[in-house]
Structure 1
Amino acid sequence: KAAFDDSPDPRLSQEGTVQAMDELNVFLEYYPNSQYRPEVEKMMDILMDKLAYKALLNCRLYYDLGNYMGNNYESCIITANNALNDFPISKYRVDFAFMILKARFTYAQESIEAKQVERFRRVMDEYYSFTTDFPESDYQKEAKRMFEYARKVVEGK
C-alpha cells in the first residue's frame, strides 16, 4: 500500500508507479487467496490507468512538437500504437486512436507536394479504422473533416 501511495503524478517519471505494480504483483503471487486481493487488483487498475495517461501525455507532447528537431508526428504515432498494445482495455483507447489519425493528417498536410497524395491515403485508411473501432466517438466530427480534406487531395480536387 505504501508503494501505491508513493506513485507519482502522471506528469512525472513513472518509475515509482512501475515499482508499485511490481510489488503488488509479488504480493498477489505470494498470497493469491488473500482477503486483500480485490483491493490490490483495484490498485493495480489505478496504476495501469496512470501509466496509460502518461503515454497519452507523451503522445500529445510529440504531436505538439510537430516537425521541431525531426519528425515528431511519427513519434506520436509510434507511441500511440505502443500504448494501444500495452493498454488494450484503457479508457484512453479512443484518444490514442485519434492521436494517430490527427498526427497522420497533420504530417500529410505539412509534407512536400510530391508525398501528399500517398500520405493522405494513409489518413483515409486510418479514418476507416478509427470509425470502425469507435463509431460513437466524440472525435467523429473532426475525424470526418480530416477524411473529407484527405479525399479531396487524393482525388485531385
Structure 2
Amino acid sequence: MLFKMRLLVPILLLAIMFQSCSEYQKVLKNEDVKPKYDLAQKFYEKGDMKRANRLFEQIAPKYVGKPQGERVMFFLADTYFQRKDYNMAGYQFERFVKSYPKSDKAAEAFFLGAKSYFKLSPVYSLDQTDTDKALSKLQLFINSHPDSEYFDEANAMAKELTTKKEHKAYEIAKQFNKLGQFDYTFLTPAVAAFDNFVSDFPGSIYREDAMFYRFESASRFAINSFERLQEERLKEAIDDYNALKKQFPNTKHADEADKILEKVNSQLQGFTQEKEAK
C-alpha cells in the first residue's frame, strides 16, 4: 500500500502541473480580460512571477482608467522587480507613481523604483552613471518621505552608493600616485585628484589615506620639480603633512609620513643654507 502511495504522489503532482500549464495556455490565448486578471493574481500570490508578469503585461493597457488599473500596474511593476528585471521595474514603478500619486502604494512604489536603480549600480571600478542615477532617486525619496517605513533602508542604500563613489574617486587618485613613481608628470593630477577627493568627501572612510597620499604625491612632486619651483612646493608639502597630523594625530601612516617629511626638510634646508651664504 505504501509503495502504491509513493507512486501516486509524483503522478498527482505531474497532473496538477499539467492542469496548471494547460489552464495558463488557455487563458493566455483567450481575448477575455477577466480570466487573465484572476489567473495573474493567482500566480502572483503563489510567487510565480514569470507567468504573472506575462499576463499582467497583456492586460495592463486594457485596465488603464479602470478601478483595477492601479492594482494591475503595481503588480506588473513588482513582477519585474521580483524577476530581477530592474530596468523595467524602475521604469514601471516610476510610471505608477506618476499615474497614481495619491495611491496608498505610491510611497512603496517610489521606494522600490529607487531600489531598482540601486540594484543596477555596478562595482566601483566600472562606470558609475547608474550609481549617480540611483543616488538621485534615493535622495528624492529620502527628502520627500522622511516618515516612511522604508526611510532607514533608503538611507543605508544611499550611504552604500556614496561609499562606492568615494572608493572609485580614491582609487583613481591613488592610481595617479602610483604612476607618479615612474613618471613624475602623473604627480600633478594625483595632487589635484586627492585635493578634490578631500573636498568632495569630507566624511569619507578613505580620508586619512587620501590625506597621506596627497602629502606623499606633493612631496615627490616638489623634490623632482625645477630648482626655481622647489622651495615653494616643498613648503606646500609640509603644509599637507601638518594638515594630516592635525586631523589624524595618531595616523597609521605616521612612520612613513615622518620619513618623507625628513627628506622634504633636508631638501628645504639646502635653500635656507644657500640664502644664509648669500
TM-score by length of 1: 0.90
Pairing partner for 1:43 from 157, 162, 184: 157
Pairing partner for 2:217 from 103, 117, 120: 103
For residues 114-142 of structure 1, what are the alpha-carbon distances to aligned partners after superposition, in whole Å with 9 as ceiling and x for unaligned?
Answer: 33233222211211111111111111111
- Structure 1 residue 87 and structure 2 residue 201: aligned? yes
Pairing partner for 1:28 from 142, 163, 187: 142
Q: What is residue 150 of structure 1 aligned with on the other side?
A: 264
Whether contact under 8 Å (2:223, 2:267) holds in the other structure is no
- Structure 1 residue 11 and structure 2 residue 125: aligned? yes
Q: Which amino acid aligns with 1:94?
A: E
- Please show how residues 118-137 of structure 1 align to structure 2 within 5 Å: 118-137=232-251
Whether contact under 8 Å (2:166, 2:201) holds in the other structure is yes
- Structure 1 residue 52 and structure 2 residue 145: aligned? no
**Aligned counterparts of 2:150 and 2:162: Cα–Cα separation in 1:** 18
Give aligned-pair identity as a percent: 28
Which has a greater percent of helix? Answer: 2
Q: Which amino acid aligns with 1:107?
A: F
Work out which of the two has the higher radius of gyration on C-alpha atoms and give 1 or 2: 2
Q: Which amino acid aligns with 1:83?
A: F
Structure 1 residue ranges (4+ consecutive) displaced by more than 6 angstroms after TM superposition:
none
How far did 1:100 drift?
1.0
**Aligned counterparts of 2:120 and 2:258: Cα–Cα separation in 1:** 42
Q: How many residues align?
A: 156
**Aligned counterparts of 1:8 and 1:137: Cα–Cα separation in 2:** 32
**Aligned counterparts of 2:264 and 2:201: Cα–Cα separation in 1:** 29
How far did 1:88 drift?
1.1
**Aligned counterparts of 1:120 and 1:28: Cα–Cα separation in 2:** 45
Task: Report the CA distance shift for 1:122/1:36 in structure 2 as closer, same or farther (over 3 A).
Answer: same
How far did 1:78 drift?
1.6
**Aligned counterparts of 1:108 and 1:150: Cα–Cα separation in 2:** 8
Q: Secondary structure at the match of 2:205?
A: coil
Q: What is residue 65 of structure 1 aligned with on the other side?
A: 179
How far did 1:31 drift?
2.2
**Aligned counterparts of 2:218 and 2:261: Cα–Cα separation in 1:** 11
How far did 1:27 drift?
1.8
Q: Secondary structure at the match of 2:134?
A: helix
Q: Which amino acid aligns with 1:127?
A: Y
**Aligned counterparts of 1:29 and 1:113: Cα–Cα separation in 2:** 53
After superposition, the CA RMSD in angstroms is 1.8
**Aligned counterparts of 2:177 and 2:224: Cα–Cα separation in 1:** 13
For residues 54-80 of structure 1, what are the alpha-carbon distances to aligned partners after superposition, in whole Å with 9 as ceiling and x for unaligned?
Answer: 011110122223275x83212112221
In structure 1, list runs of 5 or more residues that go unmatched.
Answer: none
Q: Which amino acid aligns with 1:96?
A: A
Pairing partner for 1:75 from 181, 189, 192: 189
Whether contact under 8 Å (2:177, 2:190) holds in the other structure is yes
